[in-house]
Amino acid sequence: MSKFTQLGNDLYSGVKSVNFVGRRRVFYVVSLILVVVALAGPFARAAITGTPAYNFGIEFTGGSEFIISDAATTDQTLATTAVESVVGDVAPKVSVVGSSGIRVQTSQMTNAQTNEVKTALASAYGVPETNVTSSFIGATWGQDITQTAIRGLIVFLVLAALLMAIYFRTWKMSVVAIVALLHDVIITAGVYGITGFEVTPGAVIGLLTILGYSLYDTVVVFDKIRENTLGVARDMSKTFGQQVNLAVNQTLVRSINTSVVAALPVASILFIGAFVLGAGTLRDISLALLIGIVVGTYSTLFLAAPLYAGWRGRESAIKKADNKILSAQARSVEV
């Protein structure tokens, strides 16, 4: 039997235990610090660098885009120089697409400027002008995507909260799960702002996708908590908080395995999309997913379950029962 399997058995039986609930105040402080950094970090970086707090892509800001195919070199400085030779006050965003493609994004240009830039780019990379395509993207499309995403997020949160309240038979579990979910979204968005990663529709899709993963992990743990703390299955020799902590430990190995299994292919897609294919959409979606998986696992174990235990532990009936159990445990230790 492997050590990991033995560890899982020990955690499930209670022979070994990680005190998630007992140290909940430490985890609250850690989560609070992460949220504050995620909220303030992008604006601090913006003040230092003089750039926007969030680096929204051309789909949200609007502008012109040029794609150079079959370029002899992928030197990005050539594109910057070519664009600035035509329009000096433009700061182009240049990226490599695949093995021989160059993407150049700028603010909106006139038709005459667009044609001059195409000629300059073709000359800089030694390709015919037919290998340089241009397109204009309006900012209204990005605004529509944003509004749709916000509406979808609100509807999702409302429906998920109602479903969990009905399933778990307590609205407090539902509220805690939503708090953990918002915690994950804020931190993931904060990473984008602090690092300056470009926020694209792909990143928004990835951000919305992690909502499902975060809730799935939380529901698995909460289902075990409900099993341990409700009905005849409850062990009356343990307090409510101890039962919650046992449930988290019993699902710990499963949470870790699920996270690793989910993170490995996402990390592979991120590597392939970013460094091999140069596919921006794959990179943006997988980056948000990878961050969300890590943060979602953390919030389920270190925030959601301890927060629920602390909240329910203040109820008079549970507090009264816990005091009796603690007294009995103290007497058994003395004996």
Assign 3-state DSSP to the chain and report helix, strand, coil percentages, each to 5.
75, 10, 20
Beta 101-106 vs 63-68: how paired, if at all? antiparallel
Alpha carbon distance 305, 172 (integer Å): 11
Are residues 259 and 213 in contact, defined by beta-carbon separation less than 8 angstroms? no
- Angle at the Cα of 227 (from 223 to 233), degrees rounded to 5? 175
pLDDT of the residue at 309 = 92
Alpha carbon distance 267, 286 (integer Å): 7
Average pLDDT by consecutive 10-residue portion of the chain (335 residues)?
A: 68 79 92 95 90 82 84 82 81 76 82 86 85 78 74 83 85 90 90 84 79 82 86 69 90 84 81 62 77 88 92 88 82 64
Domain with CATH 1.20.1640.10 in the chain: 19-47+141-330
pTM summary value: 0.81
Phi then psi for residue 69, to 5 deg, are: -100, 150
Which SS3 state, helix, strand or coil, does residue 22 take? coil
pLDDT of the residue at 29 = 95
Q: Which CATH number applies to 63-137: 1.10.1040.10, 3.40.50.720, 3.30.70.3400, 3.40.50.620?
A: 3.30.70.3400
Give the closest residue to 178 by CA, choosing from 300, 297, 298, 286: 300
Alpha carbon distance 166, 215 (integer Å): 15
Class for domain 19-47+141-330, per CATH? mainly alpha
Domain with CATH 3.30.70.3400 in the chain: 63-137
